Structure 1
């Protein structure tokens, strides 16, 4: 039987924050009073983080067990703390749990849950395994971690399709997350190279991949700032601009040693990135007012 501590490590609580935060951004951007909606807000946060994201981590670790044996042999599955096929069983059980919980969020929430579960397996599992591509893999994760939860939070609160402005901003931040996921691939550089995973750090080299990741993260935020100005939200646009300038400083530090600084940037720069997301969500909530 797997060790309880290893099971918790398998679903990686540290990775739950981005989709939970994105869901809350969607809730805020919808502009719907929270009174009477506390249950679906709390349920959506739990679904986005511990359940769907945790399931995706378990599925990824199972499908990546041969890569982790090279990069991180102390991980739960290659170390034997999750023995046999328990990694697969946990991922499958959590997939069913995700769909069951998503059902209580209504048709929009359930539909988004189905998409999220399918995306998690498409990213990790053969024969699709989009993780093999440094373009499609990070793109799918960015959409699943930032765009889809944001869209879902807004749809569940609105009980219908979110406004076009919400979709645009959520999509832009999801595109920017492609760069974040590229930096996340630096930690698996050697294992990816040996097992044929064509991540951008493997294909382009660490220096070029890091520069490209910075561009991909920055350009969508510039577009968000422009859209906020067009929509008459100069104060919020100014705050997001300041947050972006702080990221420019962090990017300069990153580019001095891309491979060594990538973990640092994933803690520092990403925190700034998601802060801008919430500022943008507040602007969308109050669209039409100063």
Structure 2
């Protein structure tokens, strides 16, 4: 007698035809929203606008920079990276099948539309910045440009989009005017510095990137050389920032950023002993000092120092 207890008439569970809300949120990667939200806050501080009358613009901009534009960029990236994620991170929503069919693409397109609509509510500067952010996000991940296929260009686009663009946008939106030269310079320098942080983030995907043909810097240069290049990218722009703060007659702020850079240099030296293993550790130590330096510069600019 057979031991089977099931019946041919028993119902068969059906695969989901659409993703659960929690899976959509996972696709948007909330953990990645912090850098552009922080950069927008630094830009709001640097604008010099009174917080009492502009707080609603600041909150709307932080939502735009993080959950909307950054979330959209993560959905776009996951859709076009679904093949490499199947190697590096098979548990991600799309390769795992929890985001069925073409829903990853549908979410990316829908979130693009929501971001543009939200950006339009922030006026000319807000909408212009949103257009640029959306264009960079698609150019970074999608063919034919797919900037991320080469670590030099992809990390540059990502650093400028995560750090420089939100900072400059906030300064423009809250002051209702084009940003000052010193805001543009410091925001751009921190975006260039973020190139190195993006390189360290590539260490976790070396195997899949190599197999798929993505030329991240760790793939092109090897982990050790890529880590040294990342350190130069992170350090040199901040040295220039310190010099600019001194020129702006903000010696106290310059000293704080210099001390934070010294702390980052210590963390870099430790990370270089084993870049592949210690890159995540650096992201929890050196990057913290990096973002504190950004905020310090925001207050220096708010104090009204001029070149």
Mark yes or no: TM-score above 0.5: yes
Among 192, 206, 209, which residue is 1:192 paired with? 209
Partner of 1:202: 219
Q: How does 1:92-241 map to 2 (within 5 A)?
A: 92-241=109-258
Q: TM-score, normalised by structure 2?
A: 0.93
Please give the per-residue CA displacement for 1:142-186, whole angstroms capped at 9, x wherever unaligned: 000000000000000110101100000000000000000011111
Ranges in structure 2 where 5+ consecutive residues have no aligned partner: 1-17
- Alpha-carbon distance between aligned partners in 2 of 1:54 and 1:117, rounded to the nearest angstrom: 11
- Alpha-carbon distance between aligned partners in 2 of 1:249 and 1:256, rounded to the nearest angstrom: 12
Please give the per-residue CA displacement for 1:239-276, whole angstroms capped at 9, x wherever unaligned: 00110011011111210110011111112211110110
Among 40, 45, 70, which residue is 2:57 paired with? 40
Among 79, 103, 107, which residue is 1:62 paired with? 79
- Alpha-carbon distance between aligned partners in 2 of 1:175 and 1:203, rounded to the nearest angstrom: 20
- Which one has the largest radius of gyration? 2
- Alpha-carbon distance between aligned partners in 2 of 1:137 and 1:48, rounded to the nearest angstrom: 19
Greater shift in the superposed pair: 84-93 or 29-38: 29-38
Q: Are the counterparts in 2 of residues 231 and 287 from structure 1 also a CA contact under 8 Å?
A: no
After superposing on structure 2, the runs of 4+ consecutive aligned residues of structure 1 that deviate more than 2 Å are: none
Q: RMSD across aligned C-alpha pairs, in angstroms?
A: 0.9
> Could you tell me how far 1:124 is from its partner in structure 2?
0.2
Please give the per-residue CA displacement for 1:31-65, whole angstroms capped at 9, x wherever unaligned: 11112211111000000000100000010000000
Partner of 2:9: none
- Alpha-carbon distance between aligned partners in 1 of 2:252 and 2:89, rounded to the nearest angstrom: 45
- Alpha-carbon distance between aligned partners in 1 of 2:22 and 2:224, rounded to the nearest angstrom: 37
Partner of 1:3: 20
